[in-house]
Structure 1
Amino acid sequence: MNVSVAAQAKPHADAGSKPQTGAEFLGSIADDGREVWIDGERVKDVTTHPAFRNSTRMIARMYDSLHDDANAAVLRAPLHDGPGWTHPGFLAPRSLEESVQQTEAYAAWARIGYGWLGRSPDFIGAAFCPSFDVEADYFGEYSANAKAYAKHLREKVSYIGHAIVNPPIDRSTPETAKDIMIRVEKETDAGIYVSGAKVVATGMSMAQEVLIAHHFIPVTDKKYAPVFSIDINTPGVKMFCRRSYEGDAARTSTPFDAPISSRMDENDSILVLDNAFVPWERVLMYDPAKANTFMAVPGQAARGLLQAGVRLAVKLDFICGLFMKAVEVGGTKDFRGVQAGVGEAIGFRHMMWALMQAMTRDLQPWREDYLQPNAVHGHAYRVLAGEQYSKMRHNILKHVASGLIYLPSSAKDYLNPEVKPMLDRFARGSNGISSEERSKILKLLWDTIGSEFGSRHELYEMNYSGSQEQVRVDQYVRSFTNGTAEQMLGLVDTCMAEYDINGWTVPDLINPGA
Structure 2
Amino acid sequence: MGRIALALRTGLELLETLRGDGREVWIDGERVADVTADPRFAGAARTLAELYDMPEEDGDLSYTSPTKGDSARLCWMEPQSPADLTAKRGMFKRWADHTGGMFVRSPDFLAVMASSFASAESVLGKDFGGNARTCYEAAREADLAMSHTLITPQVDRSKSVDAQDHDIAARIVRETDDGMVLSGARMLATLSPFCDELLVMPAPSYPLPDTDKGRAYAYAAYVPVGTPGLKLICRPSLAPQGAGSPMDWPLAARFDEMDAMVVFDEVLVPWERVFIFRDIDVCNAVYRESFAATQMAHQYVTKDLAKAEFMLGVALSVARAAKADEFLHVQNMLAELINMAETVRACLVASEANAGTTPFGTALPDRWPLEAMRFNFPTMFRRACDIVQNIGAGGLMMVPSAAELSGKLSDDVARYAQAANASATERVNLFRLAVDASTSGFAGRQQLYERYFAGDPVRAAAILFKSYDTDTYRKRIDDFLAVSEEATSP
- 1:366, CA displacement in angstroms? 1.7
- 1:47, CA displacement in angstroms? 0.8
Letter in 2 for 1:114: G
Contact 2:117–2:290 (Cα < 8 Å) also in 1? no
How far apart, CA to CA, are the structure 1 residues paired with 2:176 and 2:83? 47
Contact 1:124–1:160 (Cα < 8 Å) also in 2? yes
Letter in 2 for 1:113: T
Contact 1:380–1:475 (Cα < 8 Å) also in 2? no
Structure 1 unaligned blocks of 5 or more: 1-8, 506-510
Q: What residue in structure 2 maps to residue 123 of structure 1?
A: 109
- From 207, 213, 216, the equivalent of 2:201 is 213
Contact 2:145–2:195 (Cα < 8 Å) also in 1? yes
How far apart, CA to CA, are the structure 1 residues paired with 2:287 and 2:358? 17
How far apart, CA to CA, are the structure 1 residues paired with 2:138 and 2:223? 13
1:496 and 2:481 aligned:
yes
- From 290, 293, 305, the equivalent of 1:313 is 305
1:438 and 2:416 aligned:
no
Instruction: Determine helix, strand or coil for the equivalent of 2:66.
Output: coil
Larger radius of gyration: 1
Give runs of aligned pairs for residues 242-257 of structure 1, distance below 5 A: 242-246=235-239, 249-257=240-248
How far apart, CA to CA, are the structure 2 residues paired with 1:397 and 1:13? 45
Q: What residue in structure 1 maps to residue 449 of structure 2?
A: 460
Contact 1:12–1:72 (Cα < 8 Å) also in 2? no
1:274 and 2:274 aligned:
no
Q: What residue in structure 2 maps to residue 4 of structure 1?
A: none
- 1:96, CA displacement in angstroms? 2.5
Letter in 1 for 2:266: N
1:395 and 2:387 aligned:
yes
1:370 and 2:365 aligned:
no
Contact 2:76–2:111 (Cα < 8 Å) also in 1? yes
Give runs of aligned pairs for residues 70-469 of structure 1, distance below 5 A: 70-126=56-112, 128-140=113-125, 141-174=127-160, 175-215=163-203, 216=206, 220=211, 221=213, 222-246=215-239, 249-289=240-280, 290-408=282-400, 410-416=401-407, 418-431=408-421, 433-469=422-458
Contact 2:2–2:64 (Cα < 8 Å) also in 1? no
Are residues 177 and 382 of structure 1, via their aligned partners in 2, closer, same or farther at CA, if it must alter by over 3 Å? farther
- 1:146, CA displacement in angstroms? 1.1
Deviation readout 1:421-465 (Å, 9 max, x if unpaired): 11122221123x211111110001111211101111011112232
Contact 1:324–1:342 (Cα < 8 Å) also in 2? yes
Contact 1:100–1:361 (Cα < 8 Å) also in 2? no
CA-atom RMSD in angstroms: 1.8
Contact 2:182–2:266 (Cα < 8 Å) also in 1? yes
TM-score by length of 1: 0.90
How far apart, CA to CA, are the structure 1 residues paired with 2:295 and 2:360? 17
- 1:415, CA displacement in angstroms? 1.2
How far apart, CA to CA, are the structure 2 residues paired with 1:133 and 1:464? 23
Contact 1:119–1:202 (Cα < 8 Å) also in 2? yes
- 1:11, CA displacement in angstroms? 4.8
Deviation readout 1:392-418 (Å, 9 max, x if unpaired): 21222122211111211x2111112x3
Contact 2:181–2:268 (Cα < 8 Å) also in 1? yes
1:36 and 2:28 aligned:
no
- 1:368, CA displacement in angstroms? 4.9
- 1:322, CA displacement in angstroms? 0.8
Letter in 1 for 2:352: T
Letter in 2 for 1:136: E
- 1:143, CA displacement in angstroms? 1.7
Q: What residue in structure 2 maps to residue 24 of structure 1?
A: 13
Deviation readout 1:300-344 (Å, 9 max, x if unpaired): 011100100101110111111011001111321111111111111
How far apart, CA to CA, are the structure 1 residues paired with 2:129 and 2:279? 17
TM-score by length of 2: 0.94
- 1:475, CA displacement in angstroms? 2.2
- 1:34, CA displacement in angstroms? 0.6
How far apart, CA to CA, are the structure 1 residues paired with 2:273 and 2:77? 20
Instruction: Determine helix, strand or coil for the equivalent of 2:324.
Output: coil
Structure 2 unaligned blocks of 5 or more: none
